[in-house]
Amino acid sequence: MWSVMTLRSLAVLPSFGEIYILDKEVEYRMALSIKNLEVEQLARELARRRRVSVTEAIRQSLEREVARERLVPRDESSDLFQRLMAISDSGAQIPRRENAMTEDEILGYDDLGIPTR
């Protein structure tokens, strides 16, 4: 995620008696914050074993995983949303029963909203 930050600097030129205020917009990336102790420990162990920084160990691992994911063909039918929609569609095809209980009867309320159980 890219963010924009405005840096303000002050330049003083005493020989000329002038003061300049300079604003400059700088793009930077947000830092990744790991709030899972197990993930942090794994990252530190990997960095120690590879003799690299934690950042480098994470970069290498993510690079490898992304490369692996790119090799796996993905079609829309394997998408979680598509699978959930298929389950929803099959549930909607269940026929309604004759003389089925109303929602209130299932919950145990009569016509006045008083519990029947």
- Averaged over 34-38, what is the pLDDT? 88
Residue 47 has pLDDT above 90, yes or no: yes
Tens of pLDDT along 60-108? 999 999 898 888 776 655 677 778 888 888 877 777 778 877 777 778 8
Alpha helices (H) along the chain: 37-50, 54-71, 80-92, 103-107
Q: pTM for the full model?
A: 0.41
**Separation of alpha carbons 90 and 38, rounded Å:** 39
Q: What is the mean pLDDT of the chain?
A: 77
pLDDT the model gives residue 15: 62
| 8-12, 91-95, 112-116: segment of lowest average pLDDT | 8-12
Burial of 43 (0-12, 13-18, 19+ CB in 10 A): middle
Q: Which of 44 and 105 is assigned the larger pLDDT?
A: 44
